[in-house]
Structure 1
Amino acid sequence: MLLRVLLFIPLLIFSVCVAADPIQLDRGWEFRWGDSPVGSDGVPEWTRGDSAAAWTPIAFPSNPPDRHGAENIWYRTTLPEGQWRDPVLYISSVDLIVDVYVDGRRIYGFGHFDENGKGRFEGWPWHMITLPPESTGKPIYFRIFSDYIDIGLWGEVKVMERGELLGKILRDSTEGAVVGVFSLIVALLALAFSCIQGKRRMFVAIALYALGAASMVISASPATQLMLNAPLLWDYIGALGYFVMPVAMALLMETWFGSGTGHLYRWISRFFVAYILVAMAASLGGLVGLALTYPVFDLLFAAALVLLFVPAVRGLSMLSREQLAILCTYVLFAVLLLIDMGVAHGFLPWGKVPLAWGSLAFSCAVVVIALVHFSRSQAELRALNMSLDQQVKARTAELERLSYEDPLTGLKNRRFFNELIARESARARRQGYPLSMLICDIDHFKQFNDTHGHEAGDEVLRQLALRMKQTFRQTDLACRYGGEEFVVTMPGAGQEDALMRAEELRRDIAATALRYAGKSLPRITISVGVASWPGSVASVDELFNRADKALYRAKSKGRDRVEGADFEINRALKSASD
């Protein structure tokens, strides 16, 4: 198909260089209702140059007066003189089928006339009619059948060089092709946004509108006939795109102005969906021609445009700038469609209506809004990612804190102690400073819990943790090792300092009056085992085991006491007490 277009380019360049000026056939037209009888030689009698009295002058060969339901008509005019190399007659469109005669010879035909001079709709293509040599200055006749509301030629009728006509077709198609492709891209973008954005119904409506506009513009582009000479197929594509317009408009209006008038928009969209189904089925089934579905639709669409936009005017203050932009392009396209209807049905003089520009304005508005939405979404996504990152970091820190902290007492837990002692032991060996360790255990704690309950026992554990925080230095670290057992690590503390702190804690706990739930609790006591490096242990790695053994001795000697890792320390502690 593309190759066919490319093959026209050399011919186009050559013809333009030597072409005579195009001549518009806008005068000398005549018409005659009915169909010509055919002579024995097969030549229509009306092409033999009979009396001019049977023909009636007309300014342009379209919709003469006094039709009265007639479906057959003949038109004629005289071909202009000129120095042509490869002349053709260009006609924008014909309603509906046509045979063309010069010198009694049929030189062109579109559609098929049956034996009764009737036919059926075959599409609305443009026509390039090759003119025979020496045809200039001679009459040319047009035999036409139409059961449509219009009958005759439509648009431009001019004689020109073939190459110049092909150049005109390509030039006239550029705008529609660009806008059509652009509208298709918009439709795809809108569908993509419908999958990732919350306002799915709105984006589906935009996609449907853009797809319909693209179908209309592309099918109306003259170059499509060069790529694929199937005018009826292109007309079906254009009709489907045109007929879907009110559906898309109603869907979009419903998303914006649905409150109070949503039932109206739903009714309009469903009505036109039903019309599309019925019209297409009837046309494809041969019940009516596709052309006959247009007048009814045009009337319904014009009424629907009023129903669609009147409620919108009352809700303008509620619209965002993006919605206003789309609504304005909607109105622009709707006005152009109404003008095109007026031209098509003869209410307005013929002229090219820039539907492609209306579609382009809508498509550009959607693209700009899509880019704004995308930029805004990316900014929100970056902010969300930063927020999530901060939340993850905060949560990680919280989880890390919880993984090292005892929830009851607020002290560090056994996991933290295991990591801490390895780190502090290595540092003590490396830097040569002393390191002491205390292991504390509440005396008869199981019996206390059995007597006063676990909640009272939890209060005892919290009070012990509080006293430990008050007794030891900021550099010391107290941990709940498990149950009623606590461990205190004292970096930089020697034997004597560790023993004194342990004894201070023991005395403080023994003197503390405990209360829970408004009731006094019996006093508790603790037993403490102490080990220090260097001094009571040969290796820093033996601190925990030696402190644990010292605690066992304190328990076995009656509890409520502090025991060091060797007897020399205990004797020193006893002397200090005395």
Structure 2
Amino acid sequence: MPVNSLQRMPTDHSQRIGCLQLVDNPRLTKTHQALTYPASAFRHHYVIWLLLTCLLLIGLFSHSLRANAEVQDLTQHWQYRWGDSPYINEQPQWILKPDHPDWHKIDFPSNPPSRNNQTNVWYRTQIPEGHWHDPVLYIYSVDLIVQVYLEDHLIYQYGAFDANGQGKFSGWPWHMIPLPPDATGKPLYFRVFSNYLDIGLWGEVKIMERLELLQMIWSRSVENLIITGFTLLIALLSLLFAIHKAQRQVFIPLALFAFCAAGLALTSTQAKQLILHQPLFWDYLAASSYYLLPTALIFLLSQGFQLLTPVLSRVLKIVFIGYLLSAISLSLLGIVNLSNTYPLFDALFVCLVPLTLLLSLRHPRLNLDQKVILTASTLMTILLILDMAVAHNWISWSQVPVGWGTLIFSLALVVLALRHYFRTQNTLAELNASLEQRVQKRTEELNNIAERESRRAEALSFAHYKSEQLAQYVARLSQYSHLDEAITYLKPCIPELLHPLSGLIYWNQGHSFDREAYWQREDDGFNKQFPAQLTPDSSHDLIFPHNWRRYQLQYEQPKSGTQVLAIIWVDLTDNRSRATELEPLTLETLIDRGVERINLTLSQLALKSALNRFSYEDGLTGLKNRRYLDQTLPELLETARSQSTPLSLLICDIDHFKRFNDHFGHMAGDEVLRQVADQMTQLCNHNQLLSRFGGEEFVLVLPDTDSKDAVEIAEQLRQHIEQLELRFDGEKTDDITLSLGVCSLDQHSSTSEQLLHNADQALYQAKHNGRNQVILYQPLQAKHNPHLQPNLNPAN
């Protein structure tokens, strides 16, 4: 990829240079005296036009000579191979193995895919059929150095390759590579090294006659050479005027700009290589001219046309001049390659120069002179950026008509000269205008502004009041521990928050949204326009006036996602509201933020409730866990004692559960636990507490239940589980049974620890007696059986 088509394209910056012809400052009265040239200046113009005519004839003659010449574009049958070939006796081995699978097809020998920071690549193609007497291979440019092999013979080299196949940047010339007359059909290999952004050939690759190529180079360079002479003339005349005239702040930047443009025009001509074959010298001259061009433009915009502030102008000058000095000096010292300084400067140019023009366009009072120069500068910048896009392969290679910038600047100079007279007349007319009318108009404007600001202050006060009201509601809302309580509190608050705006609200009832409140509307068409009930789908299709806005009250449920609570419609243009003095967008934003705060608070409450639920719930069975049982059982005991009501507790354990797990696997065991929990849940009523005690043990607390009823309930559970048919993955498993221990509240079991302890003793006895049975805790029996010790994890 070329660094910048400033040096690489035949008509790029040479066309841009002519832009300088415009840069004169018609704002100053004496500037237009520069348009009255002495007789010698006109003689110079005649010479230039005579030279232009001659060169045009030469170009036409050259074109006629080329009419019958055969030119072959090498744009097909290319292949590439990443890396560098090993050499044996200075012979590249890759040439000897043309059928190696690492060769891949490519449309054009530039920037193959999957580079991965590689710096060496080989390209190859085949010389097409043709009839030439003195054929040469013409390459517009190469990134960065290259060796060319015809079959296994080295026929051309540009740049020096070291032992590792690497080298230094040596400039961006065009290349004319002689070919033998019998080269038709022979393979052509290119060994390329580049540590730059691009790697490979760039622009045009052709086979043609040597004379044809030289004629093409000279014909392409005619326009650039003419522009070079013309811009140098502008630069010299500008220096002359800067010495003898008072407008030095105009002519010095103009001279600097013209010298930069002349340097770019000269270095853009391909003929320069025929005049002096020093590619690095021309590249340094091109880089210096290109890097100095924005500085000259900033001088023109700031000093010549007063379009930039001093601070901005000073900062931009420091940036661009500092970059120029750093890039050139570091390149000369060999610290960086000159080629690698272009991308960063291009980025600075694309970011800062258009921004500078945009800031200039924001000038409070642009006169016509400033508009003309900004228009010309903008067009020139656009063409430069397009040219830069071609250089970086952002768009396909073509010759950008940068020369149009020269034409625009030339026309701008004429327009500015003609504008001088009319501007003077307009200035006199403005001085004769009635000052009293202007003051009266200004006074009316100030009165209107004061009245609008007064109404706006009142509206802002209203907005502040509503914000405080919202903050109070949100603070109260966040104090609730349950979401349902918060929603109940919220319902009457919504109309109060939106008052005095007209509106209505639909609350979610599960399968539909019911209209529960509307305010500030009493007209007959209201009910027809907004129905009393909506389905979730029809809520989006409801047609309402353009001045009404739709909002949603919703919250995020951790498991089920977004839950819509209500749909609100509000009339933002209700004339009865002081808030209408606010901008509609401001009022809408105010309501949006209020709804967002309420939704966020509701989501926090939902999350808080979910976290509380998760902390007391068993993840596998969905039952309450041991932590919840330990917290709730003492409260149930205290209630039973205070109300003198019975209370019983049973602990059940799945028999031989370890054996079941070992035989069917833990996945089947988990499914058994879930099914047992589901069956027990179905048999329990709402006031009974069922929890997973740990492992395969469950605890059921039975308020208002004595020991007799508790034993009956335990027996029902045992029989129900015994008859349960279990299946896992579609296959029947072994049946399971329960062993249960029951204990009731009495003098021996008065605390939660004693209840659990005694029930566990009864469970252990059931296990000891053969399992699949219910045992009621008997204090005397436990006392006479000291071997029946409590065990919270009895053997299966």
TM-score, length basis structure 2:
0.43
Aligned residue for 2:283?
Answer: 235
Does the CA-based 8 Å contact 2:256-2:296 persist in structure 1?
yes
Q: Deviations over 1:275-320 (max 9, x none)?
A: 1111110000101111011001000111111221012112384334
Alpha-carbon distance in structure 1 between the residues aligned to 2:279 and 2:84: 26
Alpha-carbon distance in structure 2 between the residues aligned to 1:316 and 1:90: 53
Aligned residue for 2:382?
Answer: 335
Q: Deviations over 1:502-557 (max 9, x none)?
A: xxxxxxxxxxxxxxxxxxxxxxxxxxxxxxxxxxxxxxxxxxxxxxxxxxxxxxxx
Q: CA, structure 1 residues 95+360, in 2 after alignment: closer, same or farther (shift >3 Å)?
A: farther
1:261 aligns with 2:304: no
Does the CA-based 8 Å contact 1:190-1:203 persist in structure 2?
yes
> Residue 180 of structure 1: CA displacement?
1.3
Q: CA, structure 1 residues 259+348, in 2 after alignment: closer, same or farther (shift >3 Å)?
A: closer
Aligned residue for 2:650?
Answer: none
Alpha-carbon distance in structure 2 between the residues aligned to 1:137 and 1:233: 37
- Secondary structure at the aligned position of 1:92 is classed as strand
Alpha-carbon distance in structure 2 between the residues aligned to 1:106 and 1:27: 22
Q: What is the letter of the counterpart of residue 325 of structure 2? A: L
Does the CA-based 8 Å contact 2:132-2:181 persist in structure 1?
no
Which is further off, 92-101 or 246-255?
246-255
Aligned residue for 1:306?
Answer: 354
- 5 Å-filtered alignment, 1:95-494, equals 95-255=143-303, 258=306, 261-315=309-363, 317-321=365-369, 323-359=370-406, 361-362=408-409, 365-366=412-413
> Residue 194 of structure 1: CA displacement?
2.0
Aligned residue for 1:22?
Answer: 71
- Secondary structure at the aligned position of 2:110 is classed as coil
Alpha-carbon distance in structure 1 between the residues aligned to 2:93 and 2:408: 53
Does the CA-based 8 Å contact 2:235-2:256 persist in structure 1?
yes
> Residue 360 of structure 1: CA displacement?
5.3
Does the CA-based 8 Å contact 2:140-2:173 persist in structure 1?
yes
Unmatched runs of 5 consecutive residues or more in structure 2: 1-54, 424-796
Q: What is the letter of the counterpart of residue 297 of structure 1? A: F
Question: Which of the pair has the greater relative contact order for Cα pairs under 8 Å at 6+ separation?
Answer: 2
Alpha-carbon distance in structure 1 between the residues aligned to 2:418 and 2:150: 58
> Residue 365 of structure 1: CA displacement?
4.3
Does the CA-based 8 Å contact 2:357-2:374 persist in structure 1?
no
Alpha-carbon distance in structure 1 between the residues aligned to 2:420 and 2:96: 69
- 5 Å-filtered alignment, 1:25-44, equals 25-40=74-89, 42-44=90-92
Q: Deviations over 1:41-61 (max 9, x none)?
A: x22112224214220111111
Identity %: 46
Does the CA-based 8 Å contact 1:13-1:163 persist in structure 2?
no
Higher-Rg structure is: 1
Q: What is the letter of the counterpart of residue 116 of structure 1? A: N
Which is further off, 303-312 or 77-86?
303-312
Alpha-carbon distance in structure 2 between the residues aligned to 1:17 and 1:255: 49
Does the CA-based 8 Å contact 1:254-1:266 persist in structure 2?
no
Aligned residue for 2:651?
Answer: none
Does the CA-based 8 Å contact 1:336-1:355 persist in structure 2?
yes
Alpha-carbon distance in structure 1 between the residues aligned to 2:153 and 2:411: 51
Alpha-carbon distance in structure 1 between the residues aligned to 2:307 and 2:63: 63
Q: Number of residue pairs matched? A: 365
Task: Give the alignment's Cα RMSD to 1 decimal.
Answer: 2.8
Q: CA, structure 1 residues 190+257, in 2 after alignment: closer, same or farther (shift >3 Å)?
A: closer
Q: Deviations over 1:242-296 (max 9, x none)?
A: 0011101111121256477221122101211111111110000101111011001
Q: CA, structure 1 residues 45+213, in 2 after alignment: closer, same or farther (shift >3 Å)?
A: same
Q: CA, structure 1 residues 368+310, in 2 after alignment: closer, same or farther (shift >3 Å)?
A: closer
Alpha-carbon distance in structure 2 between the residues aligned to 1:138 and 1:177: 38
> Residue 197 of structure 1: CA displacement?
3.2
1:77 aligns with 2:125: yes
Does the CA-based 8 Å contact 1:92-1:157 persist in structure 2?
yes
Alpha-carbon distance in structure 1 between the residues aligned to 2:297 and 2:310: 13
Which is further off, 355-364 or 62-71?
355-364
> Residue 166 of structure 1: CA displacement?
0.6
Q: CA, structure 1 residues 262+334, in 2 after alignment: closer, same or farther (shift >3 Å)?
A: same
Alpha-carbon distance in structure 1 between the residues aligned to 2:298 and 2:401: 23
Unmatched runs of 5 consecutive residues or more in structure 1: 1-5, 377-578
Does the CA-based 8 Å contact 2:146-2:192 persist in structure 1?
yes
> Residue 133 of structure 1: CA displacement?
2.7
Alpha-carbon distance in structure 2 between the residues aligned to 1:143 and 1:276: 32
Q: Deviations over 1:55-78 (max 9, x none)?
A: 011111111111111111111111
